[in-house]
Structure 1
Amino acid sequence: MENLSLELSKKLHELGVVVETNANWYKSGGMITG
């Protein structure tokens, strides 16, 4: 059960990083393609 929580935390962290990166990219006037 602990392993599952750890994996979930890791995935959520990765997702948060991606979202934050995209937000910063948009703020700087960039366009996400793909």
Structure 2
Amino acid sequence: MQLTEQFHIPDEHTDACDRLTTLVERHAGRVLATKY
């Protein structure tokens, strides 16, 4: 799920938002992998 689908973000911010989402997902995946 992309943040841009939930919130109406101007196009110029979409790339940064996608990058942030990817970072968060990668970090969350690492945390989950470490816990379990």
Q: How well do the aligned residues superpose, as a CA RMSD in angstroms?
A: 0.9
Structure 1 stretches of 4+ with a deviation exceeding 3 A read none
C-alpha displacement of 1:6: 0.2
CA distance in 2, matches of 1:22, 1:3: 30
Relative contact order, higher structure (CA 8 A, sep 6+): 2
Task: Name the structure with the higher helix share.
Answer: 2
The unaligned stretches of length 5 or more in structure 2 are 1-9
TM-score by length of 2: 0.67
- 1:12 match: 21
The unaligned stretches of length 5 or more in structure 1 are 28-34
TM-score by length of 1: 0.70
Q: Percent identity?
A: 0
Max Rg structure: 1
**Alignment: residue pair count:** 27
